[in-house]
Chain A
Amino acid sequence: GALVYQYPRRTICKSGTSMRMECQAVGFQATSVAWYRQSPQKTFELIALSTVNSAIKYEQNFTQEKFPISHPNLSFSSMTVLNAYLEDRGLYLCGARTGGREQYFGPGTRLTVL
């Protein structure tokens, strides 16, 4: 079956530092990978969508300078949160799909910023 793994599951970083999170698709080819953030008491916001052979597209309020993403092959993606501050805390989900089909999500990386 199709599975998506995320690492780490939980992480704590000091304000102003950076942290990297990873996403791995198993059992299918992730032609597109989307990164989402759920801040406390909110729904999931789309950060960016990475599609093979296309430039990574960031949503309003999210930038490559703050959330650089790498999608080097059809099974792996990573995103870094640079200069993390309190407003960056939350649950970061990676969703991967093949073509326009159902999106499969990982368990998320929960970021706490001190």
Chain B
Amino acid sequence: GQQVQQSPASLVLQEGENAELQCNFSTSLNSMQWFYQRPGGSLVSLFYNPSGTKQSGRLTSTTVIKERRSSLHISSSQTTDSGTYLCAPLYGGSGNKLIFGTGTLLSVKP
């Protein structure tokens, strides 16, 4: 089955530092979504990115399908960026399944 690994599992930054979160997947996909999980558990969709690079404010997502990887770059981190970041490749075939990665827990200290 599909495997989705994220690295690092956890990351501690000082406010203002940049972060690079990685997502590696085992089989080819149709698209990639990145989510931020709030402390209460709900998900915030950050990017829906079939391929290439997308930017939204301080966040940049880059997906290279043939290399089976995606990354999320956070620039000038803020304490409010703390939380869990999840990548979720969308696999085609019958049904278009979204499979979640293992997650990166980010802690940004003031």
Check B97 against A49 for contact (C-beta < 8 Å).
yes
B92 within 8 A of A: yes
Check B95 against A103 for contact (C-beta < 8 Å).
no
Inter-chain CA distance A95–B95, complex, in Å, is: 13
Per-position 1/0 for A34-50, Cβ under 8 A of B: 10101000011110010
| Chain B interface category by residue count | 20 to 34
Query: Within 8 Å CB of B98, what residues of A?
Result: 34, 46, 95, 103
Inter-chain CA distance A64–B30, complex, in Å, is: 27
Interface class of chain A by DSSP: strand
Check A44 against B97 for contact (C-beta < 8 Å).
no
Given A51-B95, A100-B30, A103-B90, the answer on whether A108 and B41 have CB atoms closer than 8 Å is: yes
Query: Within 8 Å CB of B103, what residues of A?
Result: 43
A73 within 8 A of B: no
Check A100 against B92 for contact (C-beta < 8 Å).
yes
B80 within 8 A of A: no
B49 (CB) vs chain A CBs: closest residue: A102
Check B43 against A93 for contact (C-beta < 8 Å).
yes
A105 within 8 A of B: yes
By a beta-carbon cutoff of 8 Å, the part of chain B in contact with chain A is 1, 30-31, 33, 35, 40-43, 45, 48, 86, 88, 90, 92, 94-103
A-B contact pairs, 25 of them (CB 8 A): A32-B95, A34-B97, A34-B98, A43-B86, A43-B101, A44-B100, A45-B100, A46-B97, A46-B99, A49-B95, A49-B97, A51-B95, A54-B95, A57-B95, A60-B1, A100-B30, A100-B31, A100-B92, A102-B33, A103-B98, A104-B45, A105-B45, A107-B41, A108-B41, A110-B41
By a beta-carbon cutoff of 8 Å, the part of chain A in contact with chain B is 32, 34, 36, 38, 43-46, 49, 51, 54, 57, 60, 91, 93, 95, 97, 100-108, 110
Instruction: Give the 3 A-B residue pairs with the shortest CB-CB distance, closest first.
Output: A102-B48, A44-B100, A107-B42
